[in-house]
A and B are shown apart, each in its own frame.
Chain A
Amino acid sequence: QVTLKESGPVLVKPTETLTLTCTVSGFSLSNVRMGVSWIRQPPGKALEWLGNIYSNDGESYSSSMKSRLSISKDTSKSQVVLTMTDMDPVDTATYYCAQIDRWFGDFDSWGQGTLVTVSS
Chain B
Amino acid sequence: EIVLTQSPGTLSLSPGERATLSCRASQSVTSGYLTWYQQKPGQAPRLLIYGVSTRATGIPDRFSGSGSGTDFTLTITRLEPEDFAVYYCQQYVRSPTFGQGTRLEIK
Contact = CB atoms under 8 A, between A and B. Distances in A.
B45 A104 contact: no
Given A46-B101, A106-B35, A37 B44 contact: no
Interface string B43-73: 0111100110010100000000000000000
A63 interface: yes
B75 interface: no
Binding site secondary structure of chain B: strand
B1 A106 contact: no
A39 to B, nearest CB: 8
Interface string B79-93: 000000000101110
A100 B45 CA distance: 13
A105 B33 CA distance: 6
B45 A107 contact: yes
Given A37-B96, A106-B35, A47 B51 contact: no
Contact of B97 (A49, A106, A109): A49
Nearest to A112: B44
Contacts of B92: 105-106
B42 to A, nearest CB: 9
A112 B37 CA distance: 15
B96 A105 contact: yes
Contact of A104 (B1, B33, B99, B101): B33
B12 interface: no
B54 to A, nearest CB: 8
A98 B1 CA distance: 21
Interface of A: 37, 46-49, 60, 62-63, 96, 98, 100-101, 104-113
22 contacts: A46-B100, A46-B101, A47-B88, A47-B98, A49-B96, A49-B98, A62-B95, A96-B45, A101-B50, A104-B33, A104-B50, A105-B31, A105-B35, A105-B50, A105-B92, A106-B35, A106-B47, A107-B37, A107-B45, A110-B44, A110-B46, A112-B44
Interface of B: 1, 31, 33, 35, 37, 44-47, 50-51, 54, 56, 88, 90-92, 95-101
